[in-house]
Structure 1
Amino acid sequence: MAEKTNSKAAERHLEVEVKLAVDEHTGVPDLTQLPGVASMLGTEQHDLSAIYYDTADLRLTREKITLRRRTGGADDGWHMKLPTAGGRKELRVPIEDPAKVPEELLNEVRAIVRNEPLEPIAQVDNRRVESKLAAEQGEAIAEFCDDHVTAWSLLPGGERTSWREWEVELAEAIAGTEDGDDLIRQATSFLIASGARKSSSPSKLATALGETVQTAPLPPHLQSQGLDEDSPAAAVVDALRAQRDEIVAWEPRVRADEWDSVHQLRVATREMRSLLETFEGILEGDQLEELERELKQTAAVLGEARDAEVVEERFAELLDTDESGLIDDTARAHVEQDMRKDYEAAHAEIVEMLNSDRFMDMLDDIDHLLANPPVAASDDDSESDEGGTESKVSEKESRAIMLEHLEKAYKKVIKRDKKVDEFYHDTDLPLHEREEYVHDVRKAVKKLRYATAAAQSAGIKTGRLSKAAKAMQEVLGDFQDAVTSRDRILRLSGEARERGEDTFSYGILYQRELARGDAALAGYDEAMRNLKKAFKKVKS
């Protein structure tokens, strides 16, 4: 059954199917010979016509996403298909305005298409003979389609194409199951034995477009930068591109409020900003500073929801594991509910940010940077320019440059660690001031870990260092989560006091988080020793 969360949401389906090419005069075999297929529930003929949409540089097509407006058949409407594990996710929205792509679908790909107009790129007409296949109990388990297709590419040089294909699509009841996978495999073998063959094209759209795809320009982030592949700049750009792809991939999942999506999008934005800061001097220019500011602002908006999410989870654990029996019902209700309200408000602000021109401009700036990396001129190459042209860099030189930047990031960790050693146990200082020194180490360790990926691209073996930095991050992350939770408990306590409520329960929770923070820091010294050892291995 299709999932439909509300009247404004698109219907969501998991599509699992196989398409096979077949000659015009090949007869359809007896499909009840398929294992698991006991009968045919009926056969219908439909005349379908679909207009496919994309940007001028085919951003959706290149991401294996299709968007079409189809008429005819039982499911006419706007359809979007997105790749997912085990098949494709299909979203459907009724046609209200045939000239306007529905917002429900646009939101799924806004980070990809941005403000670029979506235009017709192909028309696919299909005379479909559709048969439903049933199991022994009589329930439909799949659909067999005998398609006679005529298509036109609307790109420059496009032509009319005609072909025939067979398609078997699983019913949603078994899509994504072992039984469904078995049926698809058996159907594929059976239909090939009956005269079909594996198609050389993944979809009707791909067949319709054919070679005309080559006439479309590349999106900015896929354009060649002309960098020496062994250069430090190429390593940094590759690392930045990986984070760009993470941002684009997580953005629709944040909109849908999927689990852990806010955290992952925040990590990607922070990692990109950290890479720009850590490898300053390999890439340079005013545009980097502006992009860093925008990434920082984006991470800050995401951080409000992420902190509320983390605290809500910690509060639930605190309440579930409470053995004192002293948490009163009023305090328990606020602890359970108030952070959810905070999260929902913060998530609404995130969606507003994602819809803003400012966020779209930031994504465009990232793509422009990848297409035209502002490579810093070396001492012997004053011709380096925004287009990414640079002198040939040897692998040895590249390794030395990247190691220098990696060492700078490591030295920041050591410098901040010394302050922790000097000040954290000084009880004459306010607690939050002492904890801020620990938080500074956490931020430096993050930057060091993020830098290891780019350094590895330059031939530096950073696997052990990355693992040690991750372990250190986990220690410091657990500690910081306890600090954040304590801050929220203090706020809840203050609000309870203003309402005239007993605040004793909040004191119990605060003390437990204080103890949990101390327990997290028990692993600090060992994690720091391992980090130092790992960096020495990189240097050797």
Structure 2
Amino acid sequence: MVTTFLEVEVKFAVDEETSVPDLTTLPGVTRVDEAQVHNLSAIYYDTSDLRLTRAKVTLRRRTGGKDDGWHLKLPGEQGRIELAAELTEPVDGQYRVPDDLLTLIRSIVRNRELVPIGQVDNTRTETLLRGEDGPVAEFCDDRVTAWSLLPGGSSTSWREWELELAGELPGTEEGQDLINSATTVLIGAGARKSKSPSKLVAALGDSVNSAPLPDYLTGHSEDDAAAGVVRALSANRDKLVALDPRVRRDEWDSVHQMRVATRELRSHLQTFDGVLAGERVEWLLAELKELAGVLGLARDAEVVEERFVWLLDNEDSGTVTDEDRGRILAAIRKEYERAHRRVVATLDSERYLQLLEDIDALLAEPPVVTREDSSVEDVMAEHLDAAFKKLLKRHKRAVGNWDNEDLTLHEREEYFHDMRKAAKKLRYAAEAVGSATGMKTGKIYKACKQMQSVLGDFQDSVTSRDKLLAMSQADRRKGNDTFAYGLLYQRERYIGLESLEEYSDAYAKIESAYRKLRK
């Protein structure tokens, strides 16, 4: 069993003779419990080329104290996500990382062996700080002895203080206020903000330089013509890998963000055509398209569920019963859960791991096209021009056919969906060109993002209507009342039309930004 919580803490370096100040002076702290002393010993694991450490992820097996076990710490927006699993017995004389934790770092380590890279022993004096409603923080006075197990590693000792938020405070403004106040008090008592983000980083010290670099970090030098391209693709790669554990844990919006990252990487590879080329590129384009498709099914179900909840929460006619609401939401929730299980199965597959390996291999040895007739900047500019021409063509088709009564509503709406895809393509091209060259593409990127938002709202309403229609037909066959579906369908139709009111302004900004850049 794995437990999960948000870790929000602040660390301080402190001399041996420094005394702990009165912590009841902190806001919200009414008393402190009697201090408890724990003897902790942790072994940290990573690949030989330190893939976890480089990704700011830590994995340890710790004994002693009240939370002994396997601990995995992942980067988060408001702090670090810590996942803990129980200690396990060794297998064939070796401790094995629990599968529930290993799966969350699979995108980083793939099938590589995890080995001990450091040991941290700590005599911890822990004090629980309480407020009127319960614990608000833990204060730890740590005396640490650590060893780097890397080649050329050594041992080191130090003392540090930690203050970690407890209870409901992590991720709140009240918690941040406590962190800020504690920082002032502890520095006033003689502490210093720690230069090291973690005990492991302090333990490894300069010995990290003895570890080999992963292959994806050994690509072209900064002086190479393709260096900007490799940098841009590396950023795409890092996004994709970092989102993997969030998708597995079904964090909010993670499927959407991973789908975006997958499409960005694919679009950038297409934009870099003429700089990079070959069978490996074509293979990656096909595999990324497949991955984006699987993520898209889950994302569409997620969008529809969010819209259904909003529509039902704002439905004020009084004609939608609780039974209707429950049946509609249960059906779409089931569809999302089924789609998410398929996503996780895809992420667990050897095919997906091979895709990640192939991306890394391309970054390590990019198949650069040697061209004497044009520079990288010229090639990239050609792609930007082509993306704008496609957008212009689709804009004219969408606007010109909106009132065409010879076309079905679905056909006319599909033209705007094509326009949205063209705006997305131009946005990704602008981002790629800006990252790989000195061209100032920021205004095009921003204008395309606005268009994506406008047409995204429109397309979401279309997707929602399509799902409402399909669900109503299924319920009709079961003999259920389908009036609620028709009511929600018509409201979605109105919302979609309303979103198109901003279309003309959004297009004008794209055209203006492009013309100014290319004049």
CA distance in 2, matches of 1:445, 1:95: 51
Paired residue secondary structure (2:357): helix
What is the match of residue 217 of structure 1?
A: 212
Conserved in 2, the CA contact under 8 Å of 1:32 and 1:39? no
Percent pairwise identity: 49
The Cα of 1:513 is off from its aligned counterpart by: 2.3
Paired residue secondary structure (1:191): coil
Conserved in 1, the CA contact under 8 Å of 2:391 and 2:423? yes
Q: How does 1:58-73 map to 2 (within 5 A)?
A: 58-73=50-65
Moved more, 204-213 or 350-359: 204-213
One-letter identity of the residue aligned with 1:427: E
Conserved in 2, the CA contact under 8 Å of 1:130 and 1:145? yes
Residues 1:420 and 1:28: Cα distance change in structure 2 (over 3 Å): closer
CA distance in 1, matches of 2:234, 2:512: 30
Residues 1:270 and 1:185: Cα distance change in structure 2 (over 3 Å): same
Paired residue secondary structure (1:96): coil
What does the per-residue CA deviation read over 1:203-248, in whole Å, with 9 as the maximum and x for residues that have no partner? 332233232211111122222313536x4x3333322222222212
Conserved in 1, the CA contact under 8 Å of 2:107 and 2:244? yes
What is the match of residue 301 of structure 1?
A: 294
What does the per-residue CA deviation read over 1:96-139, in whole Å, with 9 as the maximum and x for residues that have no partner? 2341112232233222222211111122233x151426468796
Paired residue secondary structure (1:416): helix
Residues 1:146 and 1:515: Cα distance change in structure 2 (over 3 Å): closer
Q: How does 1:142-291 map to 2 (within 5 A)?
A: 143-159=138-154, 161-173=155-167, 176-192=175-191, 200-226=195-221, 228=223, 231=225, 233-291=226-284
Paired residue secondary structure (1:177): helix
The Cα of 1:413 is off from its aligned counterpart by: 0.9
What does the per-residue CA deviation read over 1:10-35, in whole Å, with 9 as the maximum and x for residues that have no partner? 2425241323153xxx4352543773
Moved more, 364-373 or 38-47: 38-47
Paired residue secondary structure (2:125): strand
- Which of the residues 456, 459, 476 maps onto 2:455? 476
CA distance in 1, matches of 2:133, 2:311: 51
Conserved in 2, the CA contact under 8 Å of 1:91 and 1:105? yes
CA distance in 1, matches of 2:135, 2:462: 55
Conserved in 2, the CA contact under 8 Å of 1:168 and 1:184? no
One-letter identity of the residue aligned with 2:272: F
Matched, 1:125 2:104: no
What is the match of residue 5 of structure 1?
A: none
What is the match of residue 537 of structure 1?
A: 516
Conserved in 2, the CA contact under 8 Å of 1:155 and 1:209? yes
One-letter identity of the residue aligned with 1:75: D
Superposed CA RMSD: 2.7
What does the per-residue CA deviation read over 1:74-97, in whole Å, with 9 as the maximum and x for residues that have no partner? 222112233445543333221023
CA distance in 2, matches of 1:279, 1:138: 57
Paired residue secondary structure (2:127): strand
Conserved in 1, the CA contact under 8 Å of 2:243 and 2:257? yes
CA distance in 1, matches of 2:484, 2:4: 45
CA distance in 1, matches of 2:17, 2:207: 32
CA distance in 2, matches of 1:125, 1:299: 45
Moved more, 502-511 or 138-147: 138-147
Conserved in 2, the CA contact under 8 Å of 1:282 and 1:376? yes
The Cα of 1:198 is off from its aligned counterpart by: 5.7
The Cα of 1:265 is off from its aligned counterpart by: 0.9
Q: How does 1:40-55 map to 2 (within 5 A)?
A: 41-55=33-47
The Cα of 1:428 is off from its aligned counterpart by: 1.8
- Which of the residues 322, 345, 351 maps onto 2:344? 351
CA distance in 2, matches of 1:420, 1:87: 45
CA distance in 1, matches of 2:50, 2:468: 50
Residues 1:425 and 1:150: Cα distance change in structure 2 (over 3 Å): same
What is the match of residue 78 of structure 1?
A: 70
One-letter identity of the residue aligned with 2:459: Q
Residues 1:111 and 1:33: Cα distance change in structure 2 (over 3 Å): closer
Aligned residues: 507
Matched, 1:409 2:401: no
CA distance in 1, matches of 2:372, 2:459: 43
TM-score, structure 1 as length reference? 0.86
- Which of the residues 100, 105, 125 maps onto 2:101? 105
One-letter identity of the residue aligned with 1:132: T
Residues 1:53 and 1:430: Cα distance change in structure 2 (over 3 Å): same
The Cα of 1:62 is off from its aligned counterpart by: 1.6
CA distance in 2, matches of 1:438, 1:200: 52
Paired residue secondary structure (1:341): helix
TM-score, structure 2 as length reference? 0.89
Conserved in 2, the CA contact under 8 Å of 1:155 and 1:213? yes
The Cα of 1:148 is off from its aligned counterpart by: 4.1
CA distance in 2, matches of 1:322, 1:373: 54
Moved more, 166-175 or 244-253: 166-175
What is the match of residue 389 of structure 1?
A: none
